[in-house]
Amino acid sequence: MLESTRVVGAMVKMDIIGRKARKEYGYGNKKHDVKTSREKIYHLMRQLTRDMIKGASMEISIKGEENLPKQGPALYVANHSSIFDTVLLVNTIKEPCIFIGKKEVAKMPLINKWFDALGCIYIDREDKRQSLECILKGISELKSGQSIILFPEGTRTMGDEMKPFKEGSFRLATKTGVPIVPIAFRHTDKVFEEYKRVKKTKVQMNIGPIIETKHLDKEGQQKLPKQVEECVKGLLQELIEQEK
């Protein structure tokens, strides 16, 4: 119960502190260029996510942190089982990133404000035309030097299972040649989703070696989604074995 109270307090702090910053540096504010705006918003998010992690009493084990690229752009691809995956990614990845998330995220209190301020992309997978427009926008962002975080399962999956990756989203990499950084999470769903309250949890994060996409031939591009999916599954399995 104490952890829940602390996290709520951290979220209130995020909202209060963030109002001025989002107004001043939010995406679309013509007073600043996009790069400057995103740097300001993202680095403030990183500071505030530390409060959430501390409030939730999370014990975090990160494997493979040396595999994070020194500079972007890159496409970060992870399995997804909790809203806290987002918190951990922002806390771990130093360079400013934007997210491609399902349209429902645009209605999630507080999170939507920060995602809007970053200029994140909301995708409606039931609308093929809109989905294509989102992918094209993502490609444009990557070509401009902006890194992106993607959950290609398209939804959250509890436990140690993973849903198949949506293949279309990998055009973000094949059309730009940016490297893919595969990431696996474990136990993040136990922080909140499993018990419907914030619970002290040991969470695991495994960052795999970069997957290069720049010189892939047509066959390599077709195999890429499955290759990355199997890579993330392998990283997840490493975490499972590590706990035995």
> 3-state DSSP call for residue 223?
helix
Is 175 within the bounds of a domain? yes
Any domain includes 214: yes
The per-residue pLDDT of the chain, averaged, comes to: 91
Q: What share of the chain is helix, strand, coil (3-state, %, to 5)?
A: 50, 15, 35
Mean pLDDT of 42-71: 91
Domain of 66 in residue numbering reads as 57-243
Is residue 200 domain-resident? yes
Residue 143 lies in a domain: yes
pLDDT tier for residue 72 given thresholds of 50, 70 and 90: confident
pLDDT digits (tens, 9 = 90+) for 133-181: 999 999 999 999 999 999 999 888 888 999 999 999 999 999 999 999 9
The enclosing domain of 203 has a CATH number of 3.40.1130.10
Asked if 152 contacts 225 with a C-beta cutoff of 8 angstroms, the reply is yes
Q: Worst-scoring range by mean pLDDT, 3-17, 94-108, 157-171, 212-226?
A: 3-17
Contact criterion met (CB below 8 Å) for 198 and 165: no
Q: Is residue 20 domain-resident?
A: no
In a domain, 150, yes or no: yes
111-118 and 2-25 helices cross at what angle (nearest 10)? 30
Q: Cα 134 to chain center, whole Å?
A: 16
Residue 203: what pLDDT? Answer: 94
Asked whether residue 49 is assigned to any structural domain, the reply reads no
pLDDT at 125 over 90: no
| 5 occurs within a structural domain | no
Q: Give 71's contacts (C-beta < 8 A, 6+ positions apart).
A: 95
Number of domains in the chain: 1
The string of pLDDT tens digits covering residues 170-199 is 999 999 999 999 999 999 998 876 666 777
Q: What is the mean pLDDT of residues 225-243?
A: 96
Radius of gyration of the chain (CA): 17
At residue 193, the pLDDT reads 66
